[in-house]
Amino acid sequence: MYLKKVGGPRAVKLPGGQMMTRADLPDPKIKRWVASRKAAVVRAVIGGLLLQEEALAIYGLTEEEFTAWKRAVDRHGVAGLKATRLQKYRQL
């Protein structure tokens, strides 16, 4: 078994003590972004598994979109990324 060379670490330890690897990241061709997939990308950037610029390029995100995800996670946790809760959290 051969491992593909990647820039940066293959696995990182997140602030909560969990391990995260590149295999835990969503597929780059993803069309439907659910809260758990958004949270995985945000956690990868915060934990140092991906650089923000790398995440933006891989997933085709804008800087504004990623910043909104990160802010939602910081303020409300993963629940803040759910589309059904978006209106409630915008009012706060």
Residue 42 structural domain: 33-91
**What is the distance between the terminal CA atoms of the chain, rounded to a whole angstrom?**
50
Q: Is residue 14 part of a domain?
A: no
Q: Distance between alpha carbon 83 and the CA centroid of its chain, in Å?
A: 16
Any residues with CB less than 8 A from the CB of 41 and at least 6 apart, and which?
25, 26, 50, 55, 59, 61, 66, 69
Q: Is residue 68 part of a domain?
A: yes
| pLDDT tens, residue by residue, 25-69 | 999 999 999 999 999 999 999 999 999 999 999 999 999 999 999
**Which of 83, 71, 27, 80 lies closest to 46, judged by CA?**
71
How many domains are there within the chain?
A: 1
Q: Whole-prediction pTM value?
A: 0.83
| Domain contains 28 | no
CATH number of residue 44's parent domain: 1.10.10.10
